[in-house]
Chain A
């Protein structure tokens, strides 16, 4: 799945305490990863949705997220070559480019964003949550690394509810398979109280994250909940959920957001504070990473700010009240996995996006449809129509890819966005006329 930590080099204007903190956290993390062998640390590779970071920390394992590596490759403009490398080796042009970026990167020496080689994983934790591709991706990695692979299945929330059968199934897998295997690989005995401690810390940071994301209900919104949101979810979706670092990061961020609200300021963009907020959008779907800045600019140049997005829920959906609960340590991990955005049924997604448009008083829904990603993309045209119908607000559809630069057509996207903004204007004009009549 996709989430990122630090999209591109931030310009000088972005030197808030939270930014500096995140940079430092990421640098430390990548150093720990790339020095794992020298330091005798064991490495686990896993996914962002269904990321069991608290559990992983109980075994002193270092968390490596191939999706985040793919994003980093996209941002550093290396993914295009990696994808082609994988296709040359026989991977189909039709499948997810995260997988191909990862496989191509391995073929080219597996160099991480800090310029050092990423370690081979000691264990693959295949947390099968919300995306079919995960299963095949880690079968492919297992073929390569020949290492222990631990499987955890998250049933799909097809009927919009979590059933006791789902929870029992997941808890059993954790108890009988996942935990014993992690103990074996790491040589560390599982301590449930240690897990509780981490979960408590997770919940603390999650409170602040929700506060930050919901601050976009203000007008103007002090944050961009998609492009900016991708920075904000980095620590909690990645290797920091359950740590003091994450708590501190979100505290800094929350203070900054409060300051912006008090000053009536909009979001900070790579070109400095955003001018007047003209359009408020809800965005569905992952972003494009190969042209991340350019894509973002198409929004802020026009005064468009994203007030809510589904992508910032792929590594956990916290805004409906879920928090990691130290009193039910294994059940809470199960509920966390079950609740991630891509594990939610299509009717749930429609409802969620409809509510976002209403609650965040957005002008409409924009879908960025990703060629790579069937999990997100199959059904998005229906989602668009339904949300449009239920909110009475216009929706629009653009198509790009995550990390394959061949599928980012700047002119095309820009055109579509411009006509979408015009559509919003027309709609507003219509509403005003109606009101005047």
Chain B
């Protein structure tokens, strides 16, 4: 492996991030006849199944702050978040014309309804609402989910024109296990030495995984980890925060940078959860769909899009994350009009209050331009945390 600097790696990731034509995915598709690309939206899709069918899973996260939304606004009222309108824009403007299928996970009613809009607007494209269980008993939610996975697999087999064997699935699970390990290593390194892994860099490295084939992305994360460890960067007098609420519509990159510039090291976040949704390795022995299902039920991340059956456990994941990363506070950054994030927020805040963890909250949109208010708020938060810890 040639040694690369963080700068060269990040430059590549930045280019992928800015490319709203998805050239990398188009190139992948064109490289061999018969290749297919399946787009998916947040928050979680079992990418292993797409991969096993020989296809490229492509994460679609809206249009960011660079896409001019011309048509998308005509589809949504002012009080609906922005990601669906920029996603429609990507579709209507032909930027997704190479995508052979679209998956809309069960995250909220906006994306749920977008799945139906896609069917109406792009009738020639395979599109599916991907329902997941909100109950976690093996025989109940598990069986339902396994059948849903089976249905997805069946659809993709039809699209691919070939059967997908258990070994194909196992190989894919292995590839994603590896990828998740690396992503978690990256998160662990950042929690440990946040000055070595600036939040915007971590973001771009992870984000590249939504457009690159998983093997290529794993290699990239590995290279970045090595490069980030090797470089020595100045340590700032920043406080350590967890940022939460960003699991769907993306914050502008500038916002992530602003947080750090205003004195907050981001030691954990809920960005692009698909890259680490399943916690720990999915076993390779046994029925692959069953294993994916069991991992989903029993070893997966918590987020507002999920129902928490146990009141005692509600929000505790956040408290645990604060403890394990040594964070000193939590920033609730939620997209405007985001039901899951905003309905969950008061409950999480109560839990943090009870645990004595300071927090602040603000809203953003993927195209927010003005960072000054956020910078000021985060700066004041960082200062007050420092004051508390000094006291």
A-B complex is real: yes
Interface residues of A (CB under 8 A from B): 89-92, 94-96, 99, 126, 128, 131-133, 135-137, 139-140, 142-143, 146, 149, 151, 153, 155-156, 158-159, 165-166, 168-169, 172-173, 176-177, 345-350, 369, 371, 374-375, 377-382, 386, 399
Known contacts A89-B346, A153-B133, A158-B115; is-contact A173 B140 (Cβ 8 Å): yes
Interface contact A132-B109, CB-CB below 8 Å: yes
Which of B19-27, B72-80, B224-232, B380-388 is the contact stretch? B72-80
Residue in contact with A153 in the complex, picked from B76, B134, B334, B347, CB distance below 8 Å: B134
Residue in contact with B131 in the complex, picked from A133, A140, A143, A155, CB distance below 8 Å: A155
A380, B114: Cα distance in complex, Å: 11
The smallest C-beta distance from A47 to any residue of chain B, in angstroms, reads 14
Interface contact A172-B140, CB-CB below 8 Å: yes
Residue in contact with B113 in the complex, picked from A92, A346, A386, CB distance below 8 Å: A346
Interface contact B314-A139, CB-CB below 8 Å: yes
Interface contact B109-A155, CB-CB below 8 Å: no
Residue in contact with B117 in the complex, picked from A165, A169, A379, CB distance below 8 Å: A379
Interface contact A176-B75, CB-CB below 8 Å: no
- List 16 interface pairs A-B (beta carbons < 8 Å), by A numbering: A94-B339, A99-B343, A132-B339, A139-B347, A140-B346, A149-B311, A151-B309, A153-B141, A158-B115, A158-B131, A159-B129, A346-B113, A371-B77, A375-B109, A379-B117, A382-B120
Interface contact B311-A146, CB-CB below 8 Å: yes
Interface contact B339-A379, CB-CB below 8 Å: no
Contacts of A177 in B (CB 8 A): 135, 137, 140
**8 Å CB contacts to A: which residues of B141-178?**
141, 143-144, 147-148, 151
A253, B309: Cα distance in complex, Å: 42
A151, B29: Cα distance in complex, Å: 43
Q: What 1/0 mask marks residues of chain B from 332 to 362 whose CB sits below 8 Å from any chain A CB?
A: 0010111110111111011000000000000
B112 on the A face (CB < 8 A): yes
Known contacts A140-B346, A151-B134; is-contact A346 B75 (Cβ 8 Å): no
Known contacts A173-B135, A347-B116, A374-B109; is-contact A382 B121 (Cβ 8 Å): yes
A345, B79: Cα distance in complex, Å: 21
Interface contact B347-A151, CB-CB below 8 Å: no
B301 on the A face (CB < 8 A): no
Interface contact B106-A156, CB-CB below 8 Å: yes
Interface contact A95-B139, CB-CB below 8 Å: no
Interface contact B129-A135, CB-CB below 8 Å: no
Interface contact A92-B77, CB-CB below 8 Å: no
- Look across to chain A and name the residue whose beta carbon is closest to the beta carbon of B342: A92
The smallest C-beta distance from B350 to any residue of chain A, in angstroms, reads 7
B236 on the A face (CB < 8 A): no
Interface contact B114-A378, CB-CB below 8 Å: yes
A126, B139: Cα distance in complex, Å: 20
Known contacts A346-B119, A374-B80, A381-B74; is-contact A158 B307 (Cβ 8 Å): no
What does DSSP make chain B's interface, helix, strand, loop or mixed? helix
The smallest C-beta distance from A326 to any residue of chain B, in angstroms, reads 25
Q: How many A-B residue pairs have CB under 8 A?
A: 157
Residue in contact with A379 in the complex, picked from B114, B151, B304, B349, CB distance below 8 Å: B114
Residue in contact with B337 in the complex, picked from A89, A94, A346, CB distance below 8 Å: A94
Contacts of A94 in B (CB 8 A): 79, 336-339, 342, 363
A319, B174: Cα distance in complex, Å: 50
**8 Å CB contacts to A: which residues of B90-144?**
106, 108-110, 112-117, 119-121, 128-129, 131, 133-135, 137, 139-141, 143-144
Contacts of A173 in B (CB 8 A): 135, 140
16 further interface pairs, Cβ-Cβ under 8 Å (given A165-B151, A378-B76): A90-B345, A95-B343, A136-B343, A139-B307, A153-B133, A153-B135, A153-B141, A155-B131, A158-B112, A158-B129, A168-B144, A169-B141, A345-B116, A346-B116, A379-B116, A382-B121
Contacts of B106 in A (CB 8 A): 156
Interface contact B135-A132, CB-CB below 8 Å: no
Interface contact B140-A176, CB-CB below 8 Å: yes
Interface residues of B (CB under 8 A from A): 74-77, 79-80, 84, 106, 108-110, 112-117, 119-121, 128-129, 131, 133-135, 137, 139-141, 143-144, 147-148, 151, 304, 307-309, 311, 314, 334, 336-340, 342-347, 349-350, 363
Contacts of A135 in B (CB 8 A): 134, 307
Interface contact A369-B314, CB-CB below 8 Å: no
Interface contact A91-B346, CB-CB below 8 Å: yes
Known contacts A168-B144, A378-B114; is-contact A156 B131 (Cβ 8 Å): yes
The smallest C-beta distance from A377 to any residue of chain B, in angstroms, reads 6
Residue of A89, A375, A378 most packed against chain B (CB within 10 A) = A378
Contacts of A374 in B (CB 8 A): 80, 108-110, 113, 339
Known contacts A172-B140, A176-B137, A176-B139; is-contact A347 B77 (Cβ 8 Å): no
Interface contact A382-B75, CB-CB below 8 Å: yes
Known contacts A149-B311, A382-B75; is-contact A90 B121 (Cβ 8 Å): no
The smallest C-beta distance from B257 to any residue of chain A, in angstroms, reads 25
- Look across to chain B and name the residue whose beta carbon is closest to the beta carbon of A379: B113
A176, B271: Cα distance in complex, Å: 36
The smallest C-beta distance from A232 to any residue of chain B, in angstroms, reads 26
Residue of B74, B117, B308, B345 most packed against chain A (CB within 10 A) = B117
Contacts of A382 in B (CB 8 A): 75, 117, 120-121
Interface contact A399-B139, CB-CB below 8 Å: no
The smallest C-beta distance from A399 to any residue of chain B, in angstroms, reads 7
Residue in contact with B349 in the complex, picked from A90, A155, A176, CB distance below 8 Å: A90
Interface contact B144-A155, CB-CB below 8 Å: yes
The smallest C-beta distance from A180 to any residue of chain B, in angstroms, reads 12
A381, B139: Cα distance in complex, Å: 40
Contacts of A378 in B (CB 8 A): 76, 80, 84, 109-110, 113-114
A50, B137: Cα distance in complex, Å: 21
Q: In the A-B complex, list the 9 residue pairs whose CB atoms are closest, starting with the nearest.
A: A346-B116, A158-B129, A136-B343, A169-B144, A92-B342, A379-B113, A165-B147, A374-B109, A375-B109
Interface contact B137-A142, CB-CB below 8 Å: no
- Look across to chain A and name the residue whose beta carbon is closest to the beta carbon of B335: A94
The smallest C-beta distance from B107 to any residue of chain A, in angstroms, reads 8
Contacts of A377 in B (CB 8 A): 77, 79-80
Interface contact B336-A172, CB-CB below 8 Å: no
Interface contact A140-B129, CB-CB below 8 Å: no
The smallest C-beta distance from A303 to any residue of chain B, in angstroms, reads 29
Residue in contact with A172 in the complex, picked from B80, B121, B139, CB distance below 8 Å: B139
A153, B144: Cα distance in complex, Å: 11
The smallest C-beta distance from B261 to any residue of chain A, in angstroms, reads 27
The smallest C-beta distance from A380 to any residue of chain B, in angstroms, reads 7
Residue in contact with B120 in the complex, picked from A90, A142, A146, A346, CB distance below 8 Å: A346
- Look across to chain A and name the residue whose beta carbon is closest to the beta carbon of B80: A378
Contacts of B350 in A (CB 8 A): 143
A128, B117: Cα distance in complex, Å: 22
Residue in contact with A136 in the complex, picked from B110, B115, B129, B304, CB distance below 8 Å: B304
Known contacts A155-B144, A172-B139, A377-B77; is-contact A132 B119 (Cβ 8 Å): no
